[in-house]
Amino acid sequence: MRMDTVIMGGGLSALTCGIALAKRGQRVAIVASGQSTLLFNGGSMELLGCVDGKAVTSPLEAIAALPAEHPYSKLGADRISELASEAHSLLTDAGIVMEGKADANHWRITPIGVAKPAWLTLSSHFSIDSLGELPCKRLALMCIRGFFDQPNGMLAEGLKGLGFEVDKLEFTTDEITALRRSPSEMRANSLAKRLVSNASLQRVADEINRLAADADMVLFPSVLADEDVIQTLKSMVKKPLRLVATLPPAVSGNRMQALLRHYFRMLGGNYLMGDTVVSGTLEGDRLTSVTTAKLGDMPLRADNFVLATGSFVSKGLVADYGRVYEPILDLDVDADADREQWTRFGVLEPQAYSRYGVKTDAGLHCLKQGKPIQNLRAIGSVLSGHDAIKMGDGTGVSLLTALAAAQSILATK
Ligand SMILES: Cc1cc2nc3c(=O)[nH]c(=O)nc-3n(C[C@H](O)[C@H](O)[C@H](O)COP(=O)(O)OP(=O)(O)OC[C@H]3O[C@@H](n4cnc5c(N)ncnc54)[C@H](O)[C@@H]3O)c2cc1C
């Protein structure tokens, strides 16, 4: 099978790159072995949230001071603003409507009630422009009885710590109660399937209107399947209503992944779900084909290839007892040689492994034994030099490196 570009990986970076290429008429195949870390996403994208332990207010200013090995520095600080605006438009075109600016972070609220700097947040979700100026005073936090994925106590305490008055209001309806046939069914995604019809939404709205009459704003867990359902519930509730992120797997991340995949396919892209790239053939400084587990002796050939296989959690990087490696082509990896350095004891300690990744040149070409592979670029969280957990730059790096790689591929034609 011959393509213009083959992308290995099926998450945010792969889909963004695939969409940008397919939009310009390329024949693109994405090979995705499984779901992606987008499923952890509670409804926000981060460009740069934290540098040297301090919250970033203006990502564009802070990016200019990042070290040379950070992917943003490789793209060039002066391109970030343009790429960020292109990324925002691409998400909108895919049906993911988000608000925010690259030159001023706002604050998203995590499922456990912590305010974190964010670049873009789904417009239906609760966020705060400035911690000094709260959008309202009195919040009604709607708590679905028996729902597992929202730690209401922590969320309420976190919001109170920001200065809100919070009423925790527990409720249920017959449809929701029926979900409790087994304890594992009261999850965000199962509620999303149940709360769809106008009748079931009206019963939820009646409960909200009954309980939250004194609130300035109603916060509802992000368990609504799509924008139409969200708008329907909003129209039935008498107070302004915003969604709050739940623990993963998140309905919002699931929806973003589905919308991006749908858009990619609408543009003519081939999404090979459930297949894994296992090896590739190098000829000189070029990759000529990759082999997948299912296609076996029918390799995928292309002019260009993109590695978007993610970090350890997605198996884009692997650690065995002795080393950290990239499993498809054994590309050069930036990681400490001494395994004692990989991790530190303590969940909240900074972990060295979270910045490990494949090495690239300034054009994002992967390196093997120090030499760039001219038609293989790496994007997203498989890249070294950034740290989604410590720096809050994961989704930004995925989106922006994906667009930069697509531009660079299109420029080779
Ligand atoms: C728990 C968690 C929470 C996070 N929270 C946030 C957050 O709040 N904010 C933020 O900005 N970022 C967050 N991130 C980071 C963010 O999710 C990622 O930076 C970004 O979405 C990564 O996208 P990606 O496409 O590069 O990689 P991934 O999402 O990891 O996708 C990699 C894809 O490659 C596939 N794959 C792997 N190997 C192969 C192979 N050999 N063949 C074919 N396919 C393969 C995988 O199945 C997967 O689909 C979080 C990450 C995690 C793990």
Look at residue 181 and tell me whether its pLDDT is greater than 90.
no
pLDDT of the residue at 413: 66
The finding on whether 381 has its CB within 6 A of some atom of ligand 1 is yes
| Closest C-alpha residue for ligand 1 atom 48 | 36
Alpha-carbon span 107 to 119, nearest angstrom: 8
The CATH classification number of 135-244 equals 3.40.50
pLDDT band at 185 (very low <50, low <70, confident <90, very high): confident
Ligand 1 midpoint to CA 398 (Å): 9
2-98+254-411 and 135-244 share one CATH topology?
Answer: no
Specify the pLDDT at position 81.
95
Q: Fill in the amino acid letter for 161.
A: G
* Integer Cα distance of 233 and 224 in angstroms: 9
Q: How far is CA 327 from the centre of its chain?
A: 23
Structural fold of domain 2-98+254-411: FAD/NAD(P)-binding domain (3.50.50)
Smallest Cα–Cα separation from 124: which of 220, 239, 262? 220
CA–CA distance, 19 with 39 (Å, rounded to integer): 19
388 lines ligand 1 (CB under 6 A): yes
For residue 109, list its beta bridge partners. Answer: 115
The Å distance, Cα 339 to ligand 1 centre, comes to 23
At 244-297, the pLDDT tens digits run 999 998 999 999 999 999 999 999 999 999 999 999 999 999 999 999 999 999
Measure CA 217 to chain center: 27
Mean per-residue pLDDT, 213-225: 96
User: Would you tell me how many other CB atoms lie within 10 Å of the CB of residue 302?
Assistant: 23
Asked which of 18-32, 149-163, 310-324, 335-349 is least confident by mean pLDDT, the reply is 335-349
Q: 14 in helix, strand or coil?
A: helix
Ligand 1 center–CA 120 separation, angstroms = 18
Confidence band, pLDDT 50/70/90 cuts, at residue 406: very high
Residue 55 forms beta bridges with which residues?
50
In the chain, where the domains are located: 2-98+254-411, 135-244
Is the pTM of the predicted complex or chain greater than 0.85? Answer: yes
In this predicted model, what pLDDT tens digit does every residue of 1-52 receive, in sequence order?
789 999 999 999 999 999 999 999 999 999 999 989 999 999 999 999 999 9
Distance 314 CA to ligand 1 centre (A): 6
Give mean pLDDT, residues 390-412: 96
Q: What per-residue confidence (pLDDT) applies to 175?
A: 87
- Give the integer Cα–Cα distance in Å for 134 and 132: 6
